[in-house]
Amino acid sequence: MEPDLHGHQQQRVHSVVIITLPPSDDPSKGKTISAYTLTDLDYPPEIHPEDERNPSFQPDPLHQQSGLWYSDLAMSSPRLVLGLLGVSLLAIAFYGSVFPNTIQMFSVSEERDRDDDSLRETTSFVFPVYHKLRAREVPYRNLAEVLSIVENGIVESIDQELVNPVKVNNLLSASASSSTIFPSNGNVYPDGLYFTRILLGSPEDGHYFHLDIDTGSDLTWIQCDAPCTSCAKGANQLYKPRKDMLVKSNEHLCVEVQRNQVAEHCESCEQCDYEIEYADRSSSMGVLAKDELHLKLHNGSLAELDIVFGCGYDQQGLLLNTLLKTDGILGLSRAKISLPSQLASRGVISNVVGHCFASDLNGEGFIFMGSDLVPSHGMTWVPMLHHSHLEVYQMQVAKMSYGNGMLSLVGENGRVGKVLFDTGSSYTYFPNKAYSQLVTSLQEVSGLELTRDETDKTLPICWQAKFLISSLSDVKRFFRPITFQIGSKWWIISGKLLIQPEDYLIISNKGNVCLGILDGSSVHDGSTIILGDISMRGHMIVYDNVKSRIGWMKSDCVRPRESDHN
């Protein structure tokens, strides 16, 4: 170190940064940051006359008083200041580990201060997500963590749309290449469904509703106080329609909904009634209504447009159990009444739907509508098989196997089968013959440290291990993958969908491993393979209604991969 040429005492400079965090129960108050530079000398810095005439910064009295206090403290005991600084840093680190979402929130809110143009270029719309078991008490969750939108990505809550919504009539700000993202949450067991939430209603009285994601349903419907004849408690309050919101019986979407119903269409009726019966004999009855749906498109456009949905005032059967955690069903099928079809008909998006449910226990993931989030590479594509009277998503399968053993397909001449993708089903269903063959093949599992447990009624077949099962990784070595071959029986030129053991097994509350593939003799037409949530986890699956194809790829479902062009 060079000597002091002017004969003054050597100065040691210390920098102190004070970060004040908001209370954990009210992070909206923001944080404050104060920085100070301190020296070990006990005399004030020299002030030149010209500095007094042209001060560069004049702190307000509050900051000035605070600065003098810290300065006096530092001059009297610099070691004490450094000790306090160390304690403060440890406190901040501890706070960050306990409340990471609050810390993350600051980075998101600070990004909002940037130029509005850059905000428009990087914003993606994300719906907030509630876990079903705590739908009424949800701590703040940083939405950037859900989809890992970290770099150049600003997350805006849909609540902001209620402040300055943009009514989309001619949809000049949107295009058919736009997409919208809906984060999802849920699990196969014990809850048995995946859900998202939407914001419905005018800016003055809009409400959120949690909806069960169902690619096998046409109509989106919400429990409704019209008044309600039979409704479950639900995750949120009942939807209350006004009379001017009811859809007339002569509107084309009413005709679409009623064409497959037992009751004949009534052209003279003032309202449009609907009645839906599901495979488990549950049902929903109500009227069609029209209200504003709030969306933030992937290209930055805000959309507030009217959609037609069901106002369900009479729900029956097992459906009432599901409605303890949700408010209704989000219909995503190919039908004209489905939400993606309505958005596509208005020119908001192209008619493409995708979903990705994480395979871990957190059960997070996302769904999207539109084509610009479809991966341009890595997807396996197969033709979409059209049904004669159902607007469902299905494909043809040429061969099915468990390990090296073949499983029978029930189809034309017993040579081809059909696979239906249904997010409304928790489990996967095989036709009776294939199911029986699979159960026979699984007898080899017994004796390999696993034995059948007839007392576990979680699912029809469960095994008890001779060791503690903490995850499916502990037992998957005893099972083999299931393979669907599509397009051709020749392995080289065919596509395939591989279902690993963790994609058809669950761990019950008794700690056993259970088979999540069930006998589908009485489901659908009895000859179709129903691919449920359990076998679609860990995959991004896309239904392209424009090109009439279905595609999939393995994914951790943390964030969507933005497409180039398909």
Q: Known catalytic residues?
A: 214, 422
Q: What is the DSSP letter of 264?
A: P
Q: What is the DSSP letter of 555?
A: -
Residue with tokens 């969908």: 497
Residue with tokens 């209704």: 328
413: left (phi over 0), alpha (psi -120 to 50) or beta: left
Strands (E), 138-252: 154-156, 180-187, 193-200, 207-214, 221-223
Select from 195, 188, 104 the least CA-distant residue to 148.
104
Q: How far apart are CA 252 and CA 337, in angstroms?
A: 10
Q: How far apart are CA 374 and CA 349, in angstroms?
A: 13
**Rounded-to-10 torsion of CA 229, 330, 172, 541:** 180
User: Can you tell me whether residue 39 is helix, strand or coil?
Assistant: strand
Residue with tokens 């429990």: 223
Exposed (0-12), middle (13-18) or buried (19+): which is 215, by Cβ within 10 Å? buried
Exposed (0-12), middle (13-18) or buried (19+): which is 275, by Cβ within 10 Å? middle
As beta bridge partners, residue 365 has 184, 357
Q: How far apart are CA 57 and CA 21, in angstroms?
A: 25
- Contact call for residues 283 and 317 (beta carbons, < 8 A): yes
Q: How far apart are CA 196 and CA 271, in angstroms?
A: 29
| DSSP3 helix / strand / coil % (the chain, rounded to 5) | 25, 30, 45
Long-range CB contacts (< 8 A, 24+ apart) of 109-114? 109/30, 111/154, 112/154
- Contact call for residues 374 and 352 (beta carbons, < 8 A): yes
The H or E element containing residue 178 is none
User: Can you tell me whether residue 558 is helix, strand or coil?
Assistant: coil
Cβ neighbours around 181 below 10 Å, total: 26
